[in-house]
Amino acid sequence: MLTVFSEKHALRDAKTELYGGELVPPFECPVRAEYVLEQLQSVKLGEVIAPQEFGLDPISRIHDTGFLNFLENCWADWQAVGYKGEAIPTVWPSRRMPQDRIPNHIEGKMGYYCLASETSISDGTWQAARASANVALTAQAAIRDGTNEAFALCRPPGHHAAGDMYGGYCFINNAAVAAQAFIDQGASRVAILDVDFHHGNGTQSIFYNRSDVMFLSLHGDPKDAFPHFLGYNDETGTGQGEGFNHNYPMGPGTNFKTWGSALDDACQKIKAYGPDALVISLGVDTFEHDPISFFKLTSDDFTRYGTTIGTLKLPTLFIMEGGYAVEEIGVNAVNVLQGYEEY
């Protein structure tokens, strides 16, 4: 299997995350990608290549230009005010406040574009996010050109990023950008299957009123898990998108029997939809020892569900999302890819 990877991911090296009322070292850290790369090379899964540069045009097909300008300049604007720490939002346009006024001051601007305060912005964040999008687009281009499967080892991840919001460690929605590229290059239908523990709220919101991209997400019940405010099973799409959004929220302690049944149902829906390409938002934070999730999948379970995905026999783009049990992230991610190749 072809893998695309960029050393520029390491430019995203924030030192602080707001967690449980404390500033702690971020769970989303550079070593995550290194562990996955090491495991890929250990099992000799296939060629690893660097990404091409695609510019902002394919990213702007998904994300608001004002939002992208904010991301590009946020760190410089934060420093210009004289703040000493990493950029963390402190105020939001909450209920009964106007939602359409973008402040000039960086403090207000951060709150306008941010969905959660755990994700700090620091030097190198924008450059790493751009590189991550290029990784996804390079792997997508390989599938467009005839490769049946590819793995975009993206970091930072992307599925929480909406058209004009960042958070949950995500800045550019790599899966959405890749899916849109398939559509722009002639695909009539694309399916995005999100197997990360956390609901892909950004991806859902981007495609919620569209029928040319089906979104399916298996995740922790938002009553108990981040991002809390999207991911319920009655969210099925609006307008032309009605019936093309499918959520599978599951509660604490979910094991593979329950999770796998949800995956089987999602795969049946994908088969019935008949997409030209399948994008997998591959988060492996469903692992039983992940520090910020409550599912109980074992390392062997990742191999099993990779095989299930393979039985769909679709051109498949795997895009790395979450996974925070760092010592096992490489094994679990690569197990999915190896299971897929076993079908």
pLDDT, residue 149, reads: 98
- On average, the pLDDT of the chain sits at 97
Position 12 scores a pLDDT of 98
Mean pLDDT to the nearest integer, 1-16: 98
Q: What value does the mean pLDDT take over residues 143-171?
A: 98
Backbone angles phi, psi at 27, to 5 degrees: -65, -30
326-341 and 299-310 helices, crossing angle to 10°: 30
Q: Which two tokens stand for residue 308?
A: 């299930």
| pLDDT, position 216 | 99
Active site residues: 160
Strand-pair category, 2-4 with 17-19: unpaired
**Could you tell me if 153 and 317 are in contact, meaning their C-beta atoms sit under 8 angstroms apart?**
no
Distance CA 341, CA 343 (A): 6
Q: Cβ of 20: how many Cβ atoms within 10 Å?
A: 7
pLDDT for the residue numbered 96: 93
pLDDT over 90 (residue 338): yes
- State the pLDDT confidence band at 74, using cuts at 50, 70 and 90: very high
Measured CA to CA, the distance from residue 140 to residue 134 in angstroms comes to 10
Q: pLDDT by residue (tens digit) across 280-319? A: 999 999 999 999 999 999 999 999 999 999 999 999 999 9
DSSP letter for 166, please.
B
pLDDT at 343: 79
Nearest to 267 by CA among 324, 316, 332, 322: 316
Residues 222-234 have a mean pLDDT of 98
pTM of the model: 0.98
pLDDT band at 203 (very low <50, low <70, confident <90, very high): very high
- Which residue spans within the chain are E strands per DSSP? 2-4, 17-19, 22-24, 48-49, 149-152, 190-194, 213-220, 245-250, 277-282, 316-320
Mean pLDDT within 87-110: 94
Angle at 103 (CA atoms; ends 99, 107), nearest 5 degrees: 110
Query: What is the model's pLDDT at position 75?
Result: 98
pLDDT number for residue 179:
99
174-194 mean pLDDT: 99
Cα torsion 31, 40, 275, 170 to 10°: value is 10
Gap between the Cα atoms of 214 and 73, Å rounded: 33
Q: Tens of pLDDT along 25-36? A: 999 999 999 999
CA-based R_g, the chain, Å: 19
pLDDT at 326: 86
Residue 78: the pLDDT is 98
Q: What is the pLDDT of residue 28?
A: 98
- Read off the pLDDT of each residue in 147-168 and give the average, rounded to a whole number: 98
42 to each of 37, 205, 283, how far by Cα in Å? Answer: 9, 38, 20
Mean pLDDT of 213-236: 98
| pLDDT of 188 over the 90 cut | yes
Q: What are phi and psi of 260, to 5 degrees?
A: -65, -35
Residue-level pLDDT at 325 = 87
What is the C-alpha separation between 14 and 243, in angstroms, rounded? 39
What pLDDT, on the 0 to 100 scale, is given for residue 297?
A: 98
pLDDT score for 104: 96
